[in-house]
Amino acid sequence: MKAFIQNLFCLSLITAPIHLTAEEVKKTTLTELAPLELGFVDLFNGKDLTNWVDVNTSPETWSVKDGLLVCTGRPIGVMRSTKQYENFILIIEWRHMKAGGNSGIFLWSDAKPSGNRLPLGMEVQMLELEWPNIHKRKGKPNHPGYVSGELFGAGGMRAIPENPRGNRSMSYEMRCKGKGEWNRYVVVAVDGTVKLSINGKFVNGIREADLRKGYLCLESEGSEIHFRRVQIMELPPGRAKDLGMSLDDRKK
């Protein structure tokens, strides 16, 4: 019973919204922010780019400064995880540094850039709140559904949106914070279904992805973004291999 209560407490910390000042962040360790005893491992160690491989950006695109993973946004492209993942819980904290910033993380990706320099995969969008107003369409602001964690299959991946905006799924509630403020995503990815928590609440989902195992990719797409925490807990494997929905199966 004691262990059960401890695990519930740890899970509450994982999804809880962030209320730390800049000074508190400097004094807070990754372990204090997320209990590693639950089985999470750091994909970003706060020191270097161990666990990541540049795909098509540049040596200057990604760096570590003051314990933060910094992306300049240029050139457009991605860096990928060193290994592939199937079922997992991912915790990632990020902040845009400019109004209208654009980035994201790809799940189950092949990490092979196509014509627009971005790969196939399930994208979890990270847009700064002013993006729809800065990037207008025919003189009018873009749809607000783009921001606050939109989920969609990129590069030809197919999936069924929970809250459709075309073939994309937009969050039921606007929960992302603007430039200079930290956001916390908790991504639960199991057997082709993705559920997204933004700053303490699950608000989006997508299901039946036609690729269910692959790399994680961090996206560089035009403006500076910071990451201070990237942690993953792998879950038991599912049916990706049986259904031919892994990268290895597609290569055959």
pLDDT tens-place string over residues 145-195? 899 999 999 999 999 999 999 999 999 999 999 999 999 999 999 999 999
The per-residue pLDDT for range 133-159, each reduced to its tens digit, is: 998 988 899 998 899 999 999 999 999
| pLDDT of 208 strictly over 90 | yes
Cβ atoms < 10 Å from Cβ of 45: 15
Handedness of CA 231, 202, 221, 78 (dihedral sign): positive
Residues 6+ apart with CB under 8 A from 2: none
**Can you tell me the mean pLDDT for 60-86?**
98
| pLDDT of 15 strictly over 90 | no
Please provide the average confidence, as pLDDT, over all residues in the chain. 88
Predicted local distance difference test score (pLDDT) of residue 233: 97
**Can you tell me the mean pLDDT for 57-83?**
97
> Pick the residue with more confidence: 18 or 56?
56
With beta carbons less than 8 A apart as the criterion, state whether 240 and 86 touch: yes
- Here the CATH number for the domain that contains residue 52 is 2.60.120.560
Burial class of residue 21, CB neighbours in 10 A (0-12, 13-18, 19+): exposed
The per-residue pLDDT for range 99-125, each reduced to its tens digit, is: 999 999 999 999 999 888 999 999 999
Predicted local distance difference test score (pLDDT) of residue 32: 44
Tell me which residue range forms the domain holding 99. Answer: 2-251
| pLDDT of 22 strictly over 60 | no
| pLDDT of 42 strictly over 80 | yes
| pLDDT of 29 strictly over 60 | no
| pLDDT of 215 strictly over 80 | yes
**Can you tell me the mean pLDDT for 47-64?**
97
Q: Taking the mean position of all CA atoms in its chain, how far away is CA 222? A: 17
> Pick the residue with more confidence: 6 or 75?
75
Q: Taking the mean position of all CA atoms in its chain, how far away is CA 9? A: 24
| pLDDT of 232 strictly over 90 | yes
Top-confidence range, 3-17, 26-40, 202-216, 232-246: 202-216
Handedness of CA 130, 134, 140, 143 (dihedral sign): negative
Instruction: State the total domains in the chain.
Output: 1
Query: What predicted TM-score, i.e. pTM, was given to this entire model?
Result: 0.86
With beta carbons less than 8 A apart as the criterion, state whether 41 and 231 touch: yes
| pLDDT of 197 strictly over 90 | yes
Nearest of 208, 178, 176 to residue 194 by alpha carbon: 208
